[in-house]
Amino acid sequence: MTALAREATSIPASAGLSKAAARDARIDIARGIGMVLVVWGHALYGVMNAGHDTQIHRFELLSIYTTHMALFFILAGLLAGSIRKRSWPEFWSMAFTRVIWPYLLWSVLLKTIHFAMSGYVNTPLKGYAVFDILWKPPSVMWFLYALLLGMILLKLTSAFSRPATVALAAVLFAAGYLLPDLDPQMDWIRTSLRFIAIYLVAAMVGRAGFERLLAPVWVALATGVMGVTLAYAWVDAADPIPGYAAFAPLYIPALLAGPVVAMRLAYAIGATRGGGALGAALALVGRNTMPIFVTHILFTAGVRIVMLELGLTNASLIIALATIIGVIAPLVAAMLADRLRVAAYLGWR
C-alpha cells in the first residue's frame, strides 16, 4: 500500500464528512473541486457572452478549461475498473441508471427551458427539435454523451491488452486535433475525442498508477507546467477565444498537469483533520455532482438574467453570485429530492 493510499484509509468520517464520504473523502473532494470549476466556468461564459468579454475574464476561463473536464474524465476512468468485468446486461443497466437516463431527461428539460426563455438568454433557439439530442447534446450535456461513448468503448475493448487500448486512445486523441472544423453544433465531437482518450488511458493506468504521479517530484513538475501554461494563457487571453477554450495544442500538457495538481490538493485537504470545514463542503459537492451538473446552468443563467434586468451590471459580482448560487441551489434541490425519495427518478442517484 502506498503512502497516499494509507492517507486515504486514515481519513475519519468526522469533521462534517459522512460515512459515505469516508469511502475515500479525497475522491469526493477532487470531484467537488472540479464541480466548482465547472460552475465558475459556465458563469464566466454567460457573462462574457452578455458583453463582458475582457482579457481577465478570458484568462480565468482558459485557466479553468485547462483542468476541469480532464479532471472529471480522469476520475471517471480511474474508477471504471469494473466495466470490463461486467456482463453486457449488467453494463447497460448501470449505464442507463448513471448516464443514459440523466442525459435523456435533463437534455429534454434543458432544451425545453432554453427554448421557452429564448427571449432572455444569450443564444436563443430558433426552433424546438427535441429529437436531435440523440446526436447533438444540448448545452453542457455533451459531457454525459462523451462519458457514455467512453464507457461503451472501454467495454468493447475488453479483449484488448493495456498497450492496445492506450494506442487506440492515442489515435482518438490525435483525431480530436486533426479532424477538420465541424459545424459549431457538432464540434463537440472533436472536443469529446480528447476526453474519451483521457478516460481510456486513466482506466488502463488505474488509481494506483495515477497515485505515483502524486509524489512530490511529479507534483512539483506539474506545478511548473501549470505555471508556464497560465503565463501563456494570459498572453492568449489578449484575443477572443475561438471555439472550445484551451483547445490549442500548447494546452495539452495541462490536461495531465492540471488534474495532478488538483488531485494532490484534494489529497492534502482530505488528509488534514478529516478534511475540516473546507473538505466537508467540497466532499458534499463531490457527492452531488450529478444534480449540480445537470441543473447549475439554470441557476447561473437565472442569476445573470435577473441581475442584468435589475440594472446590476458589475461582471465580477454577477460571476461570483452565479457561481455560489449555481452550486448551493442544486445542492438544496438534491437534498429535497433525497428527502422526497425522487432523486433516482431525476437521475441523481
**Separation between Cα atoms, residue 312 and residue 306, nearest integer Å:** 9
3-state SS track over 271-323: CCHHHHHHHHHHHHHHCCHHHHHHHHHHHHHHHHHHHHHCCCCCHHHHHHHHH
Span of 219-228, 265-274, 296-305 with lowest mean pLDDT: 265-274
Question: What percent of the residues of the chain are helix, what percent strand, and what percent coil, each to the nearest 5?
Answer: 75, 0, 25
Q: pLDDT digits over 108-117, tens only?
A: 999 999 998 8
| pLDDT at 13 exceeding the cut of 50 | no
Q: Which of 15-19, 188-192, 225-229 has the highest mean pLDDT?
A: 225-229
* Mean pLDDT rounded to a whole number for the chain: 91
| pLDDT at 17 exceeding the cut of 60 | no
**Separation between Cα atoms, residue 25 and residue 9, nearest integer Å:** 9
Q: pLDDT digits over 118-141, tens only?
A: 888 878 888 888 999 999 999 899
Residue where the block lists cell 474519451: 196
Q: Among residues of the chain, what percentage have pLDDT more than 90? A: 80
The whole-model pTM stands at 0.91
Q: In which band, very low, low, confident or very high, does the pLDDT at 274 lie, cut at 50, 70 and 90?
A: low
Phi/psi-derived region of residue 182, left when phi > 0, alpha when psi is between -120 and 50, beta in every other case: beta
